[in-house]
Amino acid sequence: PDRASSALRHEGSPSTPKLAMRAQSRKRTDVLWLIAALSSALFACVFWHLDVIEPTKPAHKEEIGVYQLANGVNEPNHLSLIPSRYLFPNGSMPIHQAHTLGLPHRGVWIHLVDKDGKILVLKRTSALKTCPGKWGCVGEHQKEGEDPKTLVDRALLEELGTNFRDKVKRHTNITSNPVWYFRQYNDGRRDRQLTWMWLVQLKDAASRV
């Protein structure tokens, strides 16, 4: 019996760390999904009922990639996860034109978290046509041919400066597929965006960023 018990303990011991690692992995995944779900709910609540205010500055001329839904694919539900293969490239055009025509495009919502666990948000300038003066996470539209990682780096460069890599501990995509975001604005524009959800952890506290 002693030998049998010893053998069982010996054979069973390697599985214990594996089970612990699996549990930690599931817990970490659940936390990331919770952040994504809460952020999506925040955007749904904050953005859905806003009035559009005319900008005091000229419309943004930056061009973004536009897409079309694959044949046989119906309009996805708001905030649903859909495979990126459902969209096919269809050229590029200025952001305001894509919204005016209601053409699908891609973008990213970046959730910045400092070392103390605080989530950083930005206040949008009152000169913007879309959601002026409102609070939200860092967001950026995807240019034609740009991959998600390059898109995130470009957004961080614009918001954190040229040394942003020194400020970032790690960043990762937190959804298996992008989120379909849809909104009908009061002036007739339609925002149909396939949105990557990204988590960026900073090395320092927010006050030092």
pLDDT score for 35: 54
Mean pLDDT per 10-residue run, the chain (209 residues)?
Answer: 41 46 51 50 38 37 90 92 90 94 95 91 84 88 92 89 85 90 93 94 83
> Which class for 193: exposed (0-12), middle (13-18), buried (19 or more C-beta within 10 A)?
buried
- What pLDDT is stored for residue 193 in this prediction? 95
Q: What pLDDT is recorded for position 77? A: 94
> Which residues, in sequence order, are CB contacts of 142 under 8 Å at separation 6+?
64, 65, 105, 106, 107, 108, 148, 151
Q: What is the pLDDT of residue 127?
A: 85
Task: Give the burial class of 97: count Cβ atoms within 10 A of its Cβ; 0-12 exposed, 13-18 middle, 19 or more buried.
Answer: middle
What are 120's strand-pairing partners? 112
3-state secondary structure of 137: coil
pLDDT recorded at residue 144: 92
**Distance from first CA to last CA of the chain, Å, rounded?**
62
CA dist 137 → 28, 62, 69, 113, 159 (Å): 21, 20, 27, 11, 11
User: Which residues neighbour 200 within 8 Å (Cβ) at sequence distance 6 or greater?
Assistant: 110, 111, 112, 113, 152, 156, 168, 170, 171
Distance CA 208, CA 13 (A): 45
* The pLDDT of residue 60: 52
Q: What is the pLDDT of residue 134?
A: 87
pTM: 0.68
What's the rounded Cα separation, in Å, for the pair 151 and 158? Answer: 11
Token pair recorded at residue 51:
């009035």
Of 69, 64, 83, 86, the residue nearest 151 (C-alpha): 64
Domains of the chain: 25-208 (3.90.79)
Q: What is the Cα–Cα distance from 86 to 145, expressed in whole angstroms?
A: 16
